Amino acid sequence: MPHASVKTIRDLIYWEYAKLIAGSTVGDRKNYGFVMHSYKKLKDGQMQPSNILRENKKFFNEEKACAYCASAEEGLEWEHIIPKVKIAIDTFDNQVLACRGCNAKKSGRDPFEWYGKERQYEIPRIVLGKYLKLIYDLHKKQGTLDSGDLNNDGKLDIYDLGVVLK
């Protein structure tokens, strides 16, 4: 559950970024104290999400392995994190290398749909970082960054982020 002070889509994306940062330094996205620390820094503007993405880009350029299972088998494919049919803009930010097995298993789902609630902490950092950037851009474009419960289910959670998708 996001912290009680997470009230808008923007807050929620920062919260997810904070979990991403916690995962890279202490190896545990559920480390509450550390997540809170990074979240506050993002909210105050002391930390920029773009820093995380630069790190991702570096990682991405060096890595020739499946983003999901780390397989380095022959014939890796460019996989669309958010399926093309669900997104109006198709950019490089939406692509990672994936093995044929993972690509087929994921099929037409976005990462949160594929991993489900229980396994959401296992979504690879590179995938989550890119997903958050795309989602942030889409909400910005639609003017919904400062909205709350977009899917009207009574709570603000990651499932509200996907509302900008088709």
Q: Tell me, by CB under 5 A, how many residues bind Zn ion.
A: 6
- What is the spatial distance between Cα 15 and Cα 42, in angstroms, rounded to a whole number? 9
- 115: contact with Zn ion by CB under 5 A: no
Q: Which of residues 69-108 bind Zn ion (CB under 5 A)?
A: 69, 71, 99, 102
Q: Nearest approach, Cβ of 124 to Zn ion (angstroms)?
A: 10
Kindly write down the DSSP assignment for every residue of 101-126, as one continuous string. Answer: HHHHHHTT--HHHHHTTTTGGGS-HH
Q: Which stretch binds Zn ion (CB under 5 A): 67-75, 110-118, 137-145, 152-160?
A: 67-75
Q: Nearest approach, Cβ of 2 to Zn ion (angstroms)?
A: 29
- What is the spatial distance between Cα 30 and Cα 161, in angstroms, rounded to a whole number? 20
Q: State the sign of the Cα–Cα–Cα–Cα dihedral 52, 48, 1, 23.
A: positive
Rank residues 66 and 135 by Cβ distance to Zn ion and give the closer one.
66
Rank residues 39 and 68 by Cβ distance to Zn ion and give the closer one.
68
- What is the spatial distance between Cα 4 and Cα 27, in angstroms, rounded to a whole number? 24
Residues that bind Zn ion (CB under 5 A): 66, 68-69, 71, 99, 102
